[in-house]
Amino acid sequence: MTLHSEILEQPNRLSALLKDQRKTVEQAADEIRKRNVEFVFLAARGTSDNAGRYANYLLGGVNGLPLALATPSLFTFYHTPPRLHNALVIGISQSGQSPDIVSVLTEGQKQGCLTLALTNIPGSPLANAADLVLDLQAGAEKAVAATKTYTAQLMTMAMLSAALKGDHSAWDQLEKVAGWVEQVLKLDGAIATAAQRYRYMQQCVVLGRGYNYATAFEWAIKLKELTYIGAEPYSSADFAHGPIAIVDQGFPVMAVAPKGMVFDSMLEMMQKLKNELKAEMVVISNDQRALDLAEVALPLPADLPEWLSPIPAIVAGQLFAYHLTVVKGYNPEQPRIIHKVTETE
């Protein structure tokens, strides 16, 4: 099993996850509704932290639940955990092994909060520390760079949001996710060719906003850990407040800009970058106006709803990072220094 094969597995994994875990997710939503949950307190690290960024927009925008991302060091080093009264405490970890994430759920239980684990290892320490466990069901992920476990995290969070809202149309849209990912995977050969253009790229910025703020961070982390490029993620709004000064002619900009509520603001920034600053652009979008600005255009399915767009969008980013790694002559199966499971305190 290779990183590339794990990327290609994702439609089947997502389809099975939806089929097999829907009932469990709906039961978890029932338990959450029984509690006087006023906000969500979410702990994660690395790629899982980017799933938390997605949850921030999803649970806030769809379910009206404020979400705070935990600072685990307050629990493990400072021993000064915040008050979590009436919080739903969520831990996300593909391995479920990180002591700092486990410590947040343990403290949540101590304070009488409902705790929920999203993990690919149901028997892990994180799962054992939780009242409710949602199995990511991604199968063994051998590659160091997380791909199918990340999209499974997004899918599971989207399922939970749909269950909490009780929205049948949302479940109908979730049924289409695997097919949308299949469409993106058809770009594999074109992306392999396009990656040749960026063989000597050493730095870039990655832009996203709204639901795809998470995608910008996740695409950037894949570029960093696989290709060793200095890839910095930004909201397009934050990027305008100073960092845009880094851009001059030919500077590479990766942008994730599917149709939705934030598209116009993303398009305005992209037009400025392209037309005024002469940036070199790779664009993931399903709007032709955005794709027309790109040297490398990666089209998304036309009927993709914004709230689910981070799942197919990051698959395009994963393929780009994988093929660029190969082009640069690096080993995508064993990035230097890092390991599959990182246990932090």
266-290, pLDDT tens digit by residue?
A: 999 999 999 999 999 999 999 999 9
Query: What is the pTM for the complete model shown?
Result: 0.96
Q: Over 90: is that where the pLDDT of 340 sits?
A: no
CATH number at residue 93: 3.40.50.10490
User: Counting every residue, how long is the chain?
Assistant: 345
Tell me whether residue 340 is one of the annotated catalytic residues.
Answer: yes
Among 153, 175, 197, the domain-final residue is 175
Say what the pLDDT of residue 66 is: 97
End residue of a domain, out of 131, 146, 175: 175
The answer to whether residue 318 scores a pLDDT higher than 60 is yes
Residues 168 and 310 in one domain: no
pLDDT at 11 over 60: yes
At CA 78, angle to CA 75 and CA 84, rounded to 5?
40
- Catalytic-labelled residue, pool 19, 23, 278, 340: 340
Give the range of the structural domain holding residue 315, as residue numbers without chain letter: 184-327
160 with 53, same domain: the answer is yes
Q: Is residue 41 part of a domain?
A: yes
What is the tally of structural domains in the chain? Answer: 2
pLDDT attached to residue 21 = 98
Does residue 150 sit in the same domain as residue 236?
A: no
In a domain, 338, yes or no: no
**Domain end point (choices 121, 153, 175):** 175
Q: Based on the fold, state whether residues 142 and 260 are members of the same structural domain.
A: no
Q: Are residues 218 and 149 in the same domain?
A: no
Please tell me whether residues 130 and 253 are part of one structural domain: no
Q: Are residues 191 and 168 in the same domain?
A: no
Is residue 200 classed as helix, strand or coil in its secondary structure? coil
| Cα 153 from Cα 89, distance rounded (Å) | 16
Task: State the pLDDT at residue 81.
Answer: 96
Instruction: Report the C-alpha gap between 174 and 189 in whole angstroms.
Output: 27
